[in-house]
A and B are shown apart, each in its own frame.
Chain A
Amino acid sequence: MANSDTMAAPAALAAGPRGPKPKRRMTRGNIIVYGTLFIFALYYALPLYVMVVTSLKGMPEIRMGNIFAPPMEVTFEPWVKAWSQACTGINCDGLSRGFWNSVRILIPSLFLSVAVASVNGYALSMWKFKGSEVFFGILMIGAFIPYQVMLYPIVILLREAGLYGSLTGLVLVHVAFGMPINTLLFRNYFASIPEELFKAARVDGAGFWAIFFKIMLPMSLPIFVVSLIIQVTGIWNDFLFGASFTGPDLYPMTVQLNNIVNSVQGVKEYNVNMAATLLTGLVPLTIYFVSGKLFVRGIAAGAVKG
């Protein structure tokens, strides 16, 4: 698309500097670069803007006006309604129930999965035993298996353990499925720690747990944060497991949100729907905006295998 002019620029450079210094800002190449970036930025940013704006309007204004227009009269009623009055089926206690369910799922899942994954990564990098690499390999392959394949066997396992339909069961499922990526993360991190450190501790007589708690843990705070970020967004955004392994009273926020917005009964209240959607997205969005570079590091660690 930018063929002719962007190609011309370096050619001119190669010919050597001549004439006055060009004003960099106004070149056609730059206009194309910034123009394209601007258009894409609109595509990514507008939905969030529309969501915020819609959630602050009253229904009459929504029916009259333009979804991109800022609200003429700001109202927080849709937010209140989404939080405490929106209906799913017969229950009309709003998204707050789903929110608290999600919190109750998130906290234990977070602790357990990070604990298990860090110990796994530690064992896999510093205390390899016969077959440990095989299990790790299975774990890595498992990350690519569509969840639907394992869904029903897990239902049976949970039912046998008496945990089907409980939050504990769902927590265990999250721990299991968060294991591949987080184990990989910790394994690669621990593998990068100098071996001398480990050997010195061994010489001093420290064992598996002593080295883990006294030396490795204090050194690996950043990777714990990265792992936590991956898990918070992953678990909070889960829909499939929440819908499959819990019942209506225990649905996590995403499932309840979907039920509220896509329920067929009643008049559609778009402002309430958007407020509810924003409320659900608020936790991962906050994590994203606060954590910044660490979030990027987390997904890069997950994506580009180390």
Chain B
Amino acid sequence: MALSEATDAGRAGPTKKPTRLFKNMASKIAAVPMVFTALVIFVGGTVWTIVYSFTSSGLLPRLKWVGLDQYERLWNSRKWLVSIENLAIYGICSLILTLVIGFTLAALLDRKVRGEGALRTIFLYPFALSFIVTGLIWQWILNPDLGLQSVVRGMGWESFTFDPLNNASLVMFGLLIAGLWQGTGLIMCIMLAGLRGIDEDIWKAARVDGIGTVKTYIRVIIPMMRPVFVTSLVLIGSGIVKLYDLVVAQTSGGPGLSSQVPAMYVMTSMFGGQNLGQGFAASTMMLVSVVIILVPWAILEFGGKKRG
């Protein structure tokens, strides 16, 4: 490839730069780590996992084809179905609440409030912390004997019960509280940047027409911020699929199976259960869900207009 380009450049006359061969060589050599990462790790790794998800790999990967057996087993496994259901509950709530809270906070901060800088710092700092730290903090706050529940009971409300981490039907919401705490600041920041990008004249026009503030946000501003919302959706969506560390730290998947998530299923079957095929099939399903989120976005984003 380099050679043919070089000869092309040789013939191309004075408009082309004279040392095209060297220029390309240096650039290509410099790009070797990138090409390796893109082709071997990202493409190669993904293809490898997909291919091996159709084999009977157990303790070690081996190429013995079993067709869709692993997927059949996967979708018949109660643990996997519970994981999917948990992630769906967490995902839907997280998506809606992150967008609502993120936008509300951004809109409030955009009302030229005092102490905006300090508030923004407070809203965003959890995003600097890891999911492990997040999970452990909230595990402590939600501790039924010494945490929030006992404090409220101590204030005189004896029957107050708030113990999501030990209640199978509420545990995903316990995780949600922590997940929202960690992640909404980021979305708020993105939304705030979007709001700041909106022309002041829009507000003036709305005011002249006598449209109320809340109505202006809903009818005018939010439709104008569609790209920002789409970016946020993609970010939140791809983050939800990866949900793992938080669960490990906060609940370890318990009580029972009640806070199992797909990523955890993958990890236990790959590294704990010596059931590689299941791990590969489950991680391929995770990939499929990301594709389902990304493809419509990519079509929306890159389909109409071409960008450099």
Using a CB–CB cutoff of 8 Å, the interface residues on chain A facing chain B are 2-3, 6-11, 13-14, 29, 33-34, 36-37, 40-41, 43-48, 50-51, 54, 62-63, 66-68, 116, 119-120, 122-124, 127-132, 135-136, 138-139, 141-142, 144-154, 156-157, 175-176, 179, 183, 202, 207-209, 233, 236-240, 244, 254-255, 257-258, 261-262, 270, 273-274, 277, 280-281, 284-285, 287-289, 292, 295-296, 299-300, 303-305
Cross-chain contact A14 with B130 (CB below 8 angstroms)? no
Cross-chain contact A288 with B210 (CB below 8 angstroms)? no
Given contacts A66-B154, A123-B31, A288-B128, contact A10 B213 (CB under 8 A): yes
User: Quick one: which of B119, B133, B190, B232 contacts A300, CB cutoff 8 A?
Assistant: B190
Cross-chain contact B34 with A135 (CB below 8 angstroms)? yes
Best-surrounded residue of B130, B186, B242, B245 (most CB of chain A within 10 A): B130
Given contacts A179-B37, A258-B132, contact A303 B105 (CB under 8 A): no
Using a CB–CB cutoff of 8 Å, the interface residues on chain B facing chain A are 1, 5, 17, 19, 22-24, 26-28, 30-31, 33-35, 37-46, 48-49, 52, 61, 101, 104-105, 108-109, 111, 113, 119-133, 136-141, 143, 146-148, 150-151, 154, 181, 185-186, 189-190, 193, 206-208, 210-215, 228, 231-232, 235, 238, 241-242, 244-245, 248-249, 252, 263, 266-267, 270-271, 276, 279-280, 282-284, 286-287, 290, 294
User: Quick one: which of B1, B31, B127, B238 contacts A135, CB cutoff 8 A?
Assistant: B31
What residues on A are CB-neighbors of B235 within 8 Å? 303
Main secondary structure of the interface of B (DSSP, over half): helix
What residues on B are CB-neighbors of A50 within 8 Å? 137, 140-141
Q: What CA separation (Å) do A14 and B120 show in the bound complex?
A: 31
Offer 9 A-B interface pairs, CB within 8 angstroms, sorted by A. Answer: A3-B212, A8-B212, A41-B122, A138-B39, A157-B40, A254-B245, A258-B136, A261-B249, A304-B190
Cross-chain contact A44 with B33 (CB below 8 angstroms)? no
What residues on A are CB-neighbors of B30 within 8 Å? 119-120, 122-123, 127, 208
What residues on A are CB-neighbors of B232 within 8 Å? 303
Cross-chain contact B130 with A236 (CB below 8 angstroms)? yes
Within the complex, the shortest CB–CB distance from B251 to chain A, in Å, comes to 10
Cross-chain contact B5 with A44 (CB below 8 angstroms)? no
User: Quick one: which of A119, A139, A281 contacts B129, CB cutoff 8 A?
Assistant: A281
Main secondary structure of the interface of A (DSSP, over half): helix
User: Quick one: which of A40, A281, A305 contacts B231, CB cutoff 8 A?
Assistant: A305
Q: What CA separation (Å) do A142 and B49 show in the bound complex?
A: 14
Best-surrounded residue of B49, B140, B211, B266 (most CB of chain A within 10 A): B140
Cross-chain contact B46 with A139 (CB below 8 angstroms)? no
Cross-chain contact B28 with A285 (CB below 8 angstroms)? no
Cross-chain contact A289 with B136 (CB below 8 angstroms)? no
What residues on A are CB-neighbors of B214 within 8 Å? 2-3, 6-7
Instruction: State the 3 A-B residue pairs at the shortest beta-carbon distance, nearest first.
Output: A7-B212, A237-B130, A142-B42
Instruction: Please give me the residue from chain B that is nearest to A51 by CB atom.
Output: B137
Q: What CA separation (Å) do A13 and B268 show in the bound complex?
A: 62
What residues on B are CB-neighbors of A122 within 8 Å? 30
Q: What CA separation (Å) do A146 and B46 show in the bound complex?
A: 10
Instruction: Please give me the residue from chain A that is nearest to B33 by CB atom.
Output: A116
Cross-chain contact B108 with A36 (CB below 8 angstroms)? yes
Cross-chain contact A303 with B186 (CB below 8 angstroms)? yes
What residues on A are CB-neighbors of B136 within 8 Å? 257-258, 261, 273, 277
Given contacts A67-B141, A127-B26, A240-B245, contact A145 B31 (CB under 8 A): no
